[in-house]
Chain A
């Protein structure tokens, strides 16, 4: 599916029966709306548009130049302008974590930031984690441990876990860290759950997500 979608030219999405089946009705409905509607939130099509901005993003190691309405969130830039639909739009308000990507290695909600604010920065999405056919250890662990059911939150969960493990390696504490002065808090189940609380899974695959993260982190279960 990723491979097929990556061949779609940005801004010239053609609807075929196959695309409809593969992308689902929500995506189809979106493509029938005016382009401005893909910018975040309700848009008054009668008002003059914002002056366009040029944005250069390093996405998964490749440079992309875009000319965007400045209202375009990073999430919409990825999905609607670059056809990188691995990053999901859940709530679009920073409450679910489905849109999590890494900016310069740090996890953020791509729905709550403008693409133009990241001009010149590197973005890593779920599409950038595997090396060719070789899955990222977290991807492999999610598959092995059934860290999902419907899968909609999974790309956000995995990107978030990549960022979380990097934070943990620097010794960052969490709210449940008993002693904030310890330089390297241990990643217990409670620590993993707290550190991953920005990613909601409506299928409640949490025990398996924790198990997958522990495996990828080299923690015995």
Chain B
């Protein structure tokens, strides 16, 4: 690990002012950042510890939603009774991620900002446009079984590893930030994460020094919420494919839906195409298949990850079928 100066922030604005300096990084839970620092993938010259800031509350909003402080731990958010009652898809997604020890540390803001688990990003001896812009992408012609099938570029095929963000994308969460001047901003989660394009090193629309203070959840959309994660082992593993679904029916016909995928793109992948197909159609397997085909119509693999296209389709069909027969985010 490279040497750094350790600082503790007393306010979010002060933290933003410290973080705007070149080489400075904010640390909250640290479960991803410290791992990357040990490998010298990240080499900050200053660490700004924000753990003492009062950003650890979950509050009701006036419109019937919830405002989740940036430092609320993943375990606390998943276990919150309001989240379990009203946002089951978020609770389930959080519980699907990492281990209990990591969830006790990892924060809401940090989870959104975690880096890809692409092996070539982690291996400093390999080219990686995300870690070392312009050096190339070793995953394109390398082992790319875990890599993206949607929204990729010729510079990067990494995926965003979060489960939480996939549920938040389905719920249309908003990210609240503050900068060094104390100016607040609200970023819809749809606009928060970026696709790799020509600049895969830029992963979000946060500006330099801008820090996350909270994530707000609008009132829950109508319908049943389900999160399903498919991975190489039953627990404590990143998704090959995951799906967050919210679906409402009048008994026979689908009246509204939200469909969001994890493990398939550089950001949590909302599929408006699938939602368009589902609306007004009968809740049956042929509808689900049509929605899955629409969701993956632009998907393309790079060899080892070709299977993800069919896997994502089948996972969506199964999840939609589950949602039609279960309640409260229960996963069968």
- Chain A residues at the B interface, C-beta cutoff of 8 Å: 39-44, 47-51, 53, 69-71, 73, 92-94, 97, 100, 106-109, 112-114, 116-117, 160, 163-164, 167, 170-175, 177-181, 183, 193-199
Contacts and interface: CB of A to CB of B under 8 A. Distances in A.
Contacts of B234: 194, 197
Looking at B1, B84, B234, the one whose CB has the most chain A CB atoms below 10 A away is B1
Given A42-B1, A173-B84, A112 B34 contact: yes
Nearest to B45: A50
Interface stretch (B99-107, B153-161, B171-179, B296-304): B99-107
Contact of A112 (B4, B30, B84, B235): B30
B120 to A, nearest CB: 17
A175 B92 CA distance: 6
A37 to B, nearest CB: 11
B84 to A, nearest CB: 4
B167 interface: no
A40 B101 contact: no
A33 to B, nearest CB: 14
A175 B84 contact: no
Contact of B3 (A47, A170, A179): A47
Given A41-B37, A116-B49, A183-B81, 19 more contacts: A41-B39, A50-B3, A50-B4, A50-B6, A69-B3, A70-B5, A94-B99, A108-B104, A109-B31, A109-B105, A112-B105, A113-B105, A114-B6, A167-B75, A170-B79, A171-B79, A172-B78, A173-B78, A181-B88
Contacts of A175: 92, 95-96, 235
Interface of B: 1-6, 27, 30-31, 34-35, 37-40, 47, 49, 51, 75, 78-79, 81, 84-85, 88, 91-92, 95-96, 98-102, 104-105, 234-236, 328-331
A42 B2 CA distance: 8
A174 B38 contact: no
Contact of B102 (A49, A112, A164): A112
Contacts of B47: 70, 114
B99 A97 contact: yes
Contacts of A198: 98-102, 236
A40 B99 contact: no
A107 B30 contact: no
30 contacts: A39-B1, A40-B1, A40-B34, A41-B39, A41-B40, A44-B2, A49-B3, A94-B31, A94-B99, A106-B75, A107-B104, A108-B102, A108-B104, A109-B31, A109-B101, A114-B6, A114-B47, A117-B27, A167-B79, A170-B79, A172-B75, A173-B91, A180-B88, A180-B92, A180-B330, A181-B84, A196-B100, A197-B99, A198-B98, A198-B100
A112 B31 CA distance: 5
Given A93-B35, A113-B34, A117-B30, A108 B6 contact: no
Contacts of A100: 101
A80 B59 CA distance: 42
A163 B96 contact: no
A126 B64 CA distance: 44
Looking at B78, B79, B100, the one whose CB has the most chain A CB atoms below 10 A away is B100
B38 A163 contact: no
A39 B31 CA distance: 16
A92 B328 CA distance: 37
Contacts of B39: 41
B292 to A, nearest CB: 24
B46 to A, nearest CB: 10
A199 B2 CA distance: 29
Contacts of B30: 112-114, 117
A117 B49 contact: yes
Nearest to B100: A198
B240 to A, nearest CB: 16
A51 B47 CA distance: 12
A218 B236 CA distance: 26
A94 B30 CA distance: 11
A163 B329 CA distance: 26
A49 B85 CA distance: 50
A50 B39 CA distance: 17
B15 to A, nearest CB: 14
Nearest to B3: A50
Nearest to B76: A172
A53 to B, nearest CB: 6
A180 B329 contact: yes
Contacts of A167: 75, 79, 100
B330 A178 contact: yes
Contacts of A44: 2
Contacts of A71: 1, 3-4
Contacts of B34: 40, 73, 112-114
A42 B104 CA distance: 27
Given A107-B101, A174-B95, A180-B328, A117 B2 contact: no
Contact of A173 (B1, B4, B95): B95
B86 to A, nearest CB: 10
Given A93-B35, A93-B38, A43 B1 contact: yes
